[in-house]
Amino acid sequence: MKTLILLSLLVLVPCVRGQLITNTEGRKTISLNGQWQAIIDPYESGYYNYRYQPSDNGYFKNAKPKNKSELIEYDFDKSETLKVPGDWNTQSDQLFFYEGTVWYKKSFDYQRKPNTRLFVYFGGANYFADVYLNGEKLGEHEGGFTPFNFEITNRVKDTDNFLIVKVDNKRRRDAVPTLMTDWWNYGGITREVKLIETPATFVSDYMVQLQKGSRDRVTGWVKLSGDKLNQKITVRIPEAGVSKTFTTDASGSAMVDFTANLKLWSPDDPKLYDVFIDAETDQVREQIGFRSIETRGTDILLNGRPIFLRGVCIHEEAPLRGGRGYSREDAVTLLSWAKELGANFVRLAHYPHNEFMVREADRMGIMVWSEIPVYWTIQWENPDTLKNARNQLQEVITRDKNRAAVVIWSVANETPLSDARLTFLKDLISHARHLDPTRLLSAAMERHYTNPTTQMIDDPLGEFLDVLGCNEYVGWYDGLPEKADGLEWKSKYQKPLVMSEFGGDALFGHHGDSLTRWTEEYQESIYQHQISMLKKIPFLRGTSPWILTDFRSPRRPLPGIQDYWNRKGLISDRGEKKKAFYVLQGWYQEMR
């Protein structure tokens, strides 16, 4: 029995690289947001010497001339500042199109306390971050949309600490995403930075969710970090009368398993409970919702009942001001627009959005499709690229696994068929299932014509997914809007389909007849014809048209119309609703 428990622990408790701390809102934190000094370094001369060798005397040393003769060619204290969180592109005209390295520096004092550990936590930095404290390297992180942290307990001083981060957003062929995307490569420390204080041994992570298919059995695990790893842990949900005690093993892990009579989370009633994890040396509190999500044949079942996902795609483009969204207010604005549309579901494209988005979705009752930027043309055969994609997937699952709102993990968007791609994506799918056995797996796939009026979904990836995702642009890249009328959809799989993208561009306020490109009328007509077509697909169980708001893209230069914005938004970059918004809203109202 003991070996069995140990074995199942090994399977279920993921070994989280660098012990990513979760639920930072539920811990003692000190914000490092605000103005940071910044040096723009297009040639990376703060990192490499003139022989292009990494220098051990780079900008991370924050050196100052010790006498009037000493030569030092940089000075953080006299440099410009950039706001954190925030992308650099929208903070300075000279950085608008910049792709390269910027060095950030923040000084802070810290009163050290006995039996307390200290971590520096980054919500996200795009794309590659090298992090230094007081001239010494803490570590590095690759991936622009997931959090990371470093322990600094033994490195922090009482005064004059300097934290320096080299952020590099150069695109790379082997990276995730790769060279070609249809969104702005906003660089910088784009999400919050904070110090997290914990007890010497603390609850570093936990998963407390309904077991797949069950509506009353809560399973999961708790993990401690520190040197007092053998402890009694109590999981309490006072409002549901739950108080269950478990004992952690020598590695600090305990399985959680109990039954409870819970009011289930749903878009109509997004019930969240106060959940407490009490260890002997720490206590963490978090609001958690409980719901079940599964599929049966071509149905998606929420809490055992079939549901249609009335959705819309969203980019993490800040509403109204443009630039990378990062705040609770940004999240509330975007999700409120989605609600006004009649949505109960959003696809957070094409990378993990900031944590406020999923937290607010939890509170507002909006189901979430969360994805990683495995987009278009990844290097399928490169083991480092796979490692990177796996790590980004692991980091987002680690961060969001207790959010009832998140119902789908998606591993890819519009990736071209090949054996290497299938092997790569199967690996990601099994990794996701291992880390989180409770949610559905999907990907936005392509489809093809078997004859001029038949669209076929038979991507071999479909066999490994729970929900088929499919992007199509009938009426925009593929014919005129009325082409949709004569189309029939077929699928090789007995599985639910979410039409994960469709749509077309319109500049708000630009009018004409319904065959004139870029007008609100053309876009409106696409939605009208699409909706009649979608209604006829027997296995359709959700839609997330492209997209809620206009978003910046370097691939969209058309003057006077695009001006570097993808105009497929139902709402403009200034918050104005286009005609198609009301067409979709009408359909979603009918379906409620």
Regarding 579 and contact with ligand GCB (CB under 6 A), the answer is: no
> Cβ of residue 211: shortest distance to ligand GCB, in angstroms?
34
DSSP H helices in 454-572? 520-534
CB of 63 to ligand GCB, least distance (A): 43
| Residue placing its CB nearer to ligand GCB in the complex, 76 or 546 | 546
Distance CA 345, CA 213 (A): 20
The token duo for 550 is 């206009």
141 binds ligand GCB (CB under 6 A): no
Of 501-560, binders to ligand GCB (CB under 6 A) are 501, 546
Q: Which of 403, 449, 443 is nearest to 424 (CA)?
A: 443
Choice between 356 and 551, CB closer to ligand GCB: 551
The bridge status of strand 448-451 relative to strand 440-445 is unpaired
Per this entry, what is the length of the chain? 592
Q: Is there a contact between 122 and 148 (Cβ–Cβ < 8 Å)?
A: yes
Closest CA to 298 of 544, 530, 493: 493
Shortest gap between Cβ of 233 and ligand GCB (angstroms)?
A: 43
Per the listing, tokens 């108080």 go with 243
Of 458, 457, 389, the residue nearest 429 (C-alpha): 389
The whole-angstrom separation of Cα 350 and Cα 500 is 11
Nearest distance from C-beta of residue 549 to ligand GCB, angstroms: 12
Task: Tell me if 413 contacts ligand GCB by CB under 6 A.
Answer: yes
Give the span between the Cα atoms of 44 and 249, in whole angstroms: 47
* Type of residue found at 132: Y
Q: Is 336 helix (H, G, I), strand (E, B) or coil?
A: helix
Nearer to ligand GCB, 298 or 471 (CB): 471
- Pattern of binders to ligand GCB over 111-140, x per CB under 6 A? ------------------------------
**CB neighbour class for 94 (10 Å; exposed up to 12, middle 13-18, buried from 19):** exposed
Among 105, 106, 568, 579, binds ligand GCB (CB under 6 A): 568
CB of 36 to ligand GCB, least distance (A): 31
Which tokens belong to 414? 């519009």
Nearest residue to the partner ligand GCB, using Cβ? 182
Q: In the bound complex, what is the minimum distance in angstroms from residue 474's beta carbon to ligand GCB?
A: 12
Residues touching ligand GCB: how many (CB under 6 A)?
9
Cα 283 to the center of its chain, rounded Å = 27
**Quick one: 287 or 413, whose CB is closer to ligand GCB?**
413
Closer to ligand GCB by CB, 178 or 566: give it.
Answer: 566
What's 182-251 look like in SS3? CCCCCCECCCCEEEEEEECCEEEEEEEEECCCCCCEEEEEEEEECCCCCCEEEEEEHHHCEEEEEECCCC
User: At closest approach, how far in Å is the CB of 182 from ligand GCB?
Assistant: 4
Which residue's CB is nearer to ligand GCB, number 150 or number 345? Answer: 345
566, 572, 573, 584: which one contacts ligand GCB (CB under 6 A)? 566
CA nearest 552: which of 361, 353, 316, 369? Answer: 316
**What is the smallest separation between the CB atom of 335 and ligand GCB, expressed in angstroms?**
20
The residue within the footprint of ligand GCB, chosen from 24, 37, 438, 471 (CB under 6 A), is: 471
* 455 CB-side CA count, 13 A: 21
In the complex with ligand GCB, the residue whose CB is nearer, 65 or 479, is 479
Residue 182 near ligand GCB by CB under 6 A = yes
Query: Minimum distance from CB of 471 to ligand GCB (Å)?
Result: 5
Residue from 205, 371, 414, 573 in contact with ligand GCB (CB under 6 A): 414
- Min dist CB 568 to ligand GCB, Å, is 5
Residue reference for tokens 């940004």: 330
**What token pair was written down for 351?**
């990378």
Q: Kindly state whether residue 206 participates in binding ligand GCB, applying the rule CB under 6 A.
A: no
Our measurement of the distance from residue 442's CA atom to the centroid of its chain's CA atoms, rounded to an integer in Å, reads: 15
Query: At closest approach, how far in Å is the CB of 432 from ligand GCB?
Result: 20
Show the site string, 351-370: x = touches ligand GCB by CB under 6 A, - = not.
--------------------
Contact 183, 550 (CB under 8 A): no
Edge to edge, what strands does the sheet with 488-491 contain? 448-451, 454-457, 488-491
Residue 542 CB, shortest distance to ligand GCB, in Å, is: 16
CB closer to ligand GCB out of 180 and 591:
180
Nearer to ligand GCB by C-beta: 132 or 345? 345
Per-residue binding string, ligand GCB, 300-339, x by CB under 6 A, is ----------------------------------------
Q: How far is residue 429 CA from its own chain's centroid?
A: 16
User: Given the rule CB under 6 A, which residues bind ligand GCB?
Assistant: 182, 350, 413-414, 471, 501, 546, 566, 568
